[in-house]
A and B are shown apart, each in its own frame.
Chain A
Amino acid sequence: MSAVPVGGSLSKAFFALLRRDLLLAFRRRTELLFPVIFLLVVVSLFPLGIGPGPQLLARIAPGVIWIAALLATVISLDGLFRSDFEDGTMEQFVISGHPLTLISLAKIVAHWLVAGLPIVLLSPLLALWMNLPLESLKVMIMTLVLGTPILSLIGSIGVGLTISLKRGGQLLSLLVFPLYVPILIIATAAVMAASDSLPYMQFLGLLLAGLITSLTLAPFAAASALKISLS
């Protein structure tokens, strides 16, 4: 049996969904702000907890900022498909005949724009708090630009798998954190290398490779996971 799409072009559907998700995020501003505030609070607790020694802070800055970014992303991930899943919109998406891969991709892009992009934009402020030198900041921003979309992409697979569970959010963090480890290692290694005036392009290259791989594969995996969860 096949559902045959009529008339509607895929790009139109993609942008309609992207626009709707951004509008919904804007309507639910508190949900939007929570991960960002969480990020700011976690990073600002470190100087208070371990003392404001500038050398030490600069040394741990890449790890602290990246771990806070991971935590903030995981907090926002659960909302990626949940409301659509619970109110029946996902069923409508399946019936529409548009590929679920495209729908997942639109939702992942929207998620990155509201959850990942603010982290990138706030990173100069975080770097200032953590006394990160200016030349390392540049690399820090590049790792976040390349790395945070990977977090959204990989996370979407986990969300797809756990969406049918009532308290899937807790399982989700256990599921995705191990997958985030390589990104954390590569990204912090890049910033540390920059701090030590060592070459760092190889790390950025690895992150870029990771981004391309996950961008090509994750939407398919997320769509399959959603299909399993729907049945």
Chain B
Amino acid sequence: MLSVSDIVFERYFEPVFEPVSFELESSQLLLITGANGCGKTTLIRVLTGILHPTSGTIENRAGLMAYVGHYLGIKDDLSVLENLRFMRDFLGTSNRSCTELIEQVGLTRVAEQQARTLSAGQRKRCALARLLVSESKLWLLDEPYSNLDQEGVELVDEMLDNHLGAGGACVLATHGAHRPAWAGTIDYHLVSGATI
């Protein structure tokens, strides 16, 4: 679904991480771990196509991908429902009703509230609901467990189980406090490219 060979990303002429290569098939989860500042977020952003690798190739056979990063892409002045409806209309994927998805991520009670009134964990859940709206085969998640309570962590694991079980694939970056229990998990330890 995703083939990556020898990608390098340089910032100020210095590689951020050591060359990365991997092969990701359906029902596989690539778990990127590493210390703070080793380039996990940068790698995910390179994989999304927002940043361009200095060298190496990325071959995406999955089509549209879905990404949840540190900036969640939620509009504060829109309600949870309006946020999701916009994304659904914008992406043109409308098979499932947004109210159902909101129920699935446990935000029914605040569905009509403006996103600015939500807690950090609730905002994260709203962004996770966007993964379901997008109906993508390939998920790219950057620290999906941050800000979430125990229930939220279980929600992410459950969403991952469903997604991977249905033949999806996922690249997940985490600093390692919690690891998802998926049998097809490939561990990838990212090493900082700094020479000093």
Binding site for B on A (CB under 8 A): 1-9, 12-13, 16-17, 20, 23-24, 27-28, 83, 86-89, 91-92, 94-98, 230-231
Contacts and interface: CB of A to CB of B under 8 A. Distances in A.
B64 A91 contact: no
A9 B92 CA distance: 7
Nearest to B48: A95
Interface stretch (B31-39, B75-83, B151-159): B75-83
A125 B64 CA distance: 50
B22 interface: no
A5 B92 CA distance: 9
A88 B49 contact: no
B73 A92 contact: yes
15 contacts: A1-B58, A1-B60, A3-B60, A6-B92, A6-B135, A12-B89, A23-B82, A27-B78, A87-B74, A87-B75, A88-B70, A91-B45, A91-B69, A91-B71, A96-B90
B77 A27 contact: yes
Nearest to A12: B92
Given A1-B49, A87-B76, A95 B66 contact: yes
Interface string B78-96: 1000100011011111000
Contacts of B90: 8, 12-13, 16-17, 20, 96, 98
Contacts of A231: 50-52
B17 interface: no
A35 B34 CA distance: 48
Interface residues of B, number: 36
Given A20-B78, A91-B67, A95-B66, A6 B50 contact: no
B92 A91 contact: no
A12 B85 CA distance: 13
B69 A88 contact: yes
Contacts of B87: 92
B20 interface: no
A3 B65 contact: yes
B71 A86 contact: yes
B170 to A, nearest CB: 15
Given A6-B135, A91-B67, A231-B51, 8 more contacts: A1-B59, A1-B60, A2-B60, A8-B90, A8-B92, A13-B91, A16-B90, A230-B50
Contacts of A97: 64
A6 B71 contact: no
* Interface pairs A-B: 6 shortest CB-CB: A8-B92, A88-B71, A16-B89, A88-B73, A27-B77, A1-B58
